[in-house]
Chain A
Amino acid sequence: MSLFLQRMIEGLSNGAMYGVVAVSLVIIFKATTLINFAQGGLAMFGAYMANVFAIEQGLPLIVGILLGAAVMAVVASGIERVLIRPFDPSNHLPVVLITFGIAYILQAVAAWKFGTEFKSFPSPFPSGPTDHIEIAGARLRYERLGVVLVLIIMVGLVHLILNRTKIGLAFRAVSSNTESAKLVGVKTGRTLNFGWALAAMFGGVAGGLVAHFTQLDSGFMDKILIFSFAAATLGGLDSINGAVIGGLIIGLVESPIQPMVRDYVPGFHFLTSDLALLVAFLLILGVLLVKPAGLFGTTRVERV
């Protein structure tokens, strides 16, 4: 039981990280119906910036992570303005190419500027050997609980921004119908730019959180990104709550479900932790076959 709880909290915290990155993907998809393959690169770079601010310059870690995320928000809005906006979003291929290109460049620059060796990265939450609460013999570590807390805060924040502010209203208008939004005077360009900045900010914070668990390296977000893709796809690419739930589901599949199946279901000992990705892949494939827009996504009706 204690093992189960411990695995559960591990899965939930992993899921929370996937959820945060997935939310950042969903924000961009909602705004532009594009998928940003550079989101992992942006988050990775944000974590390196946090490393620069917090470890090298000696700022408090939370300030460092937020500053890193803010820098990435500026970078992302620049990317949106210069590289993404000239393209027609309904033509997918050029944007796929550009976001892959940005991902390549960010990784190359990070490896060049910050070195290729792994760097350890502290957690913003207490992470000493005794920093945990015990429930039924399970050690729930603060660093893991903290990640879940951050997810809750960030999702609350994004809902506040989207539902209670003017720019949030504009964002929702653009994402529901760009043409009509333009007609009533919403500055679509600026709104999309804001969406990218917001997404990069999310990614940056997620990068700062993930780096503690994986160590810092120019490719450390790759695996997280692919799980987040799975999470966003599972929840439906245009639903923020869906992304969160998708992230948590993927996290739970990875942690209590996969090791439990391995340990207790006969014939499944080959199910090592690497295979969590495969299981997640099969899961999204199955969901998409039944519901092509994901669990909570809006189904687009095509008129024939």
Chain B
Amino acid sequence: MIKMQRPWILGLGAVSLIVLGLSVIHLLNKVTAGYWPYLGILSVIGLGTATALAQRSGEPVLVVNEGSRAHRTWQTAGWGVFAFFVVATPYLLDSFRVQQVNKSLYYAVAVLGVNLIIGYSGLISLGHGAFMGVGAFMAVILVEDYGFKLWQTLFVIVPLAFVIGVIVGIPALRIKGLYLALVTFALSFAFPIILKIEGIDKRTGGDLGRNISLDKQVQPGRLKGILGLNGLDAPAQEQIYKYWLMVLVVGISFLLVRNIIKSRAGRAVIAIKENQIGAAVSGVPLTTYKVITFGISAVFAAVGGWLYALLFSEANPNSFGPLLAIALLLALVLGGVYTLQGALVGSLLYVFLDDLRTRVTLTSVAGWRPSFFQIAEGSPLTQAVLGLALILIAFFAPGGVVSLARKVRASLIRVVPTIPTADAVASANVDSPVNEPEVAPTH
């Protein structure tokens, strides 16, 4: 059942969304002067206007009953569009862009882990870059020195990361609030230094890092035909193959995290975040849950690091320092703390924003040349964009892009639970005689 009023608002929103999507795709492919950047800005304004108009009247434009046929159709269509993009992305982009998508995918897994700690447990950790490093280095070392195949290393990495996470997590119980942020930040400074200690550097390669040698790297194997790789050039084959491996891991990780959050344990963790004392009074063992959450989040970060090793076939101590920790934080808050999709959306946004800033000059976006704003390509000033993003998010979208999008959607479309009609209630009652007082036999 659908109730619609002033459908043009919805139309404005939909058109803006499509234009926004197209201009983003254009911007990703080539950065040239043109009308696309303006269209992008216009579409954002359009979306904002539609939201504001819908919010002013207080009534959503479209009211859909949950589980109604229209609702189901739209849900299916939404998943269909999503699936289309998952399948089509690697074949539409060139191999360099596919590599970037892959990069955001390994970020996404690590950010999922960070989200478990920052978003769902409310502890601020800036040390997850180090756990990623554990994953990446264990993968490289086991493959190179111990003859493991890359996929086999996961069986070592997952338990190891859990144990390390628990060991780091135990102090986290005592150390509260910003003290924890400081200590974990110090950990991410210390981690590359630990890897370069004389003796350990024989395994980690010291300042230079280590590569997985060519014959042990992941190569597109038997699945070439199924994945449609035949006839593509070698880098494209490699990247698309890795893309599918990563999609598999990312998919499994999201499913796992979703189930963890929805489980009894997940609810307990969220309860601890919302009200620690209340949770303790309700019988939630704080210590156990906090430590285990830390361990699990470390596992996801380490799997992210394993994907890093898969993608780049190398690991360097300097890649896993404080900058990575901040990047993970940025990706998390861009996408949305305390949202499941935020990890993926934020990682994509972060990786592309970080790449875009090195390619975009103001002249190439705006088309005109005011000399004051002339910033050379790759100028160090572009780094400020990331800082600006952090500040803008804290001010205007504390829940990240995902919750912003949810807000926009909620003001346009409302899904209401179906209220059973009187007939349905009556017929249900006939079906279940337990609730119905039986007519007493007269004889």
Say yes or no for A292: interface residue by CB 8 A criterion. Answer: yes
Question: A97 and B380: CB pair below 8 A?
Answer: no
Chain B interface residues (CB < 8 Å from chain A): 118, 124, 171, 174-179, 181-183, 185-187, 189-190, 193-194, 196-199, 277, 280, 322, 326, 329, 333, 337, 375, 379-384, 386-391, 393-395, 398
Binds B, one of A48-56, A104-112, A183-191, A195-203: A104-112
Residues of B within 8 A of A269 (CB): 198
| A273-304 interface with B by 8 A CB criterion | 274-275, 277-278, 280-281, 284-285, 288-289, 292, 302, 304
* Cβ of A94 to closest chain B Cβ, rounded Å: 4
**Does chain B have a CB within 8 A of A237?**
yes
In the complex, residue of chain B having the shortest beta-carbon distance to the beta carbon of A218: B380
Q: Across the interface, which residues of A come within 8 angstroms of B182, CB to CB? A: 35, 229, 233
Q: Which residues of B contact A229 (CB under 8 A)?
A: 182, 185-186
Residues B198 and A105 in contact, CB atoms below 8 Å apart = no
Interface residue count for A (Cβ, 8 Å)? 49
A97 touches B333 (CB 8 A): yes
Provide the main secondary structure of the chain B interface: helix
Q: Judging by beta carbons under 8 Å apart, are B391 and A233 in contact?
A: no
Smallest beta-carbon distance B413→chain A, Å: 29
A256→B177 CA distance, assembly (Å): 33
Q: Across the interface, do B183 and A284 meet the contact criterion of CB distance under 8 Å? A: yes
Interchain Cβ contacts within 8 Å, total number: 131
**With known contacts A100-B326, A112-B380, A284-B186, A233–B179 Cβ distance under 8 A:** yes
Does A96 count as interface, using CB distance less than 8 angstroms? yes
- Whether A270 lies near B199 (C-beta < 8 A) is yes
**Nearest B residue (CB) for A303:** B277
> How many angstroms from the CA of A275 to the CA of B391 in the assembled complex?
34
A281 with B187, Cβ < 8 A, contacts A108-B381, A109-B381 known? yes
Cα-based distance from A270 to B382 in the complex (angstroms): 39
Whether A103 pairs with B187 at a CB distance below 8 angstroms is no
Interface contact A35-B387, CB-CB below 8 Å: no
Tell me the bound Cα distance from A104 to B354 in angstroms: 13
Residue A264 is within 8 A (CB to CB) of chain B in the complex = no
In order of increasing CB-CB distance, the 8 nearest A-B pairs are: A104-B387, A101-B390, A111-B380, A112-B381, A108-B384, A108-B383, A105-B387, A101-B391
Segment touching B, from A85-93, A132-140, A157-165, A174-182: A85-93
| Residues on the B chain within 8 Å of A226, using CB | 185-186, 189, 322
Cβ-defined contact, B387 with A93, below 8 A: no
Tell me the smallest distance from the CB of A115 to a CB of chain B, in Å: 9
Query: What's the minimum C-beta distance from B207 to chain A, rounded to whole angstroms?
Result: 11
| In the complex with contacts A102-B387, A104-B384, A229-B185, A304-B277 CB distance below 8 A | yes
Contacts of B177 in A (CB 8 A): 92
Contact partner of B181 (CB less than 8 A), chosen from A35, A111, A302, is A35
The answer to whether A272 and B198 have CB atoms under 8 Å apart is yes
Partner of B193, one of A33, A95, A109, A278: A278
- A281/B178 contact (C-beta < 8 A), A101-B394, A270-B199 known: no
The CA-CA distance from A274 to B326 in the complex, in Å, is 22
A104/B186 in contact, CB under 8 A: no
Known: A34-B178, A94-B398, A288-B183. 13 other contacts (CB 8 A): A35-B182, A97-B333, A98-B394, A101-B391, A108-B380, A108-B382, A108-B383, A108-B384, A233-B182, A284-B183, A285-B183, A288-B174, A292-B174
Given contact pairs A101-B394, A103-B387, A108-B387, A289 touches B174 in the complex (Cβ within 8 A): yes
A274: chain B residues at CB < 8 Å are: 193, 196
Contact in complex: A102, B189 (CB < 8 Å): no
